Amino acid sequence: MSVLKKLSQMFSGKKEAEEAAAEVKDLSGSSSAFADEPPVRRRVIQAPVIMEEAGESGLSGQILIKAEPSRDYEQCKFMVNRPLFAGHSWLFSNFEEAAGSPLAEAVFSVDSVATLLVHDSTAVVTKTGAKGVSDWEAFAREVGSALRKTMEAGSDLVSKDIVARIPSEKVVQEEIQKVIDNEVNPGVAGHGGKITLTAITGNTVTIQMGGGCQGCSAADLTLKQGIHGAFRKAVPYIGAIYDETDHAGGLNPYYR
């Protein structure tokens, strides 16, 4: 199935989309059906920090790592006080892709690691079967230990072959814009949506969702399964993809 068709189906009246958007749990735990109500800004629930190695800021050479799972516990972000992949980002989708990059090899040596996204001084890890904070506690310490040992070794953390594959920002921008114009926007335009490229930093992409996409119940699905897939298929050398949309600020935000 084409990317265009997939994007279109996400905003159509298909049964799957109807079921996914039928109800949403509010913060009190009660069910509330989607209704045409005035916009209400969503409350942000801060995910717990489950691993933090802190110390005196004046200690030279100390590696500090903080781990924080996402609110839905699908992934965990590891923040380090030094660069991991300065100026660039890269997604390691599996262990095979980690070959030649010491940082990725060390992280994938931890059982249950599914993917690793490295960007500047952060590493975002997804884990198979994670459903709650308890699934990340011991796991985060293992990943943190792997990160620390690799950094202490002092070698290049990411393969030089990967760096050589990343073109200039201008090339990345041109290729991503082409995908947006030819594949992504035609797929969401019929439902009032529009995707705008707002920034390219190295090979890191930042977009904004507008029109019918802003605050839509299917926005997250569209981003992860539609937009991400289209970008990575057409431009395989991109790294992180960020959405800077204020989904609570639309005319009829789904999430509250």
Q: Write down the CATH number for the domain with range 51-165.
A: 3.30.1370.70
Q: What is the mean pLDDT of residues 40-69?
A: 62
Query: Over the stretch 73-110, which tens digit does the pLDDT of each residue have?
Result: 889 999 999 999 999 999 999 999 999 999 999 999 99
Mean pLDDT of the chain: 78
Cα–Cα dist 126/130, whole Å: 8
Asked whether the domain spanning 51-165 has the same topology as the one spanning 3-35+167-249, the reply is no
| Residue 239 confidence (pLDDT) | 96
Cα–Cα dist 117/242, whole Å: 12
Stated pTM of the model: 0.73
DSSP assigned state of 22 = S
Decide if pLDDT at 66 tops 60: yes
Q: What is the mean pLDDT of residues 193-220?
A: 80
Burial of 118 (0-12, 13-18, 19+ CB in 10 A): buried
Q: What is the mean pLDDT of residues 7-35?
A: 41
CATH entry 3.30.300.130 includes domain 3-35+167-249: yes
Decide if pLDDT at 207 tops 70: yes
> How do the domains of the chain map onto residue ranges?
3-35+167-249, 51-165
Q: What is the mean pLDDT of residues 131-137?
A: 84
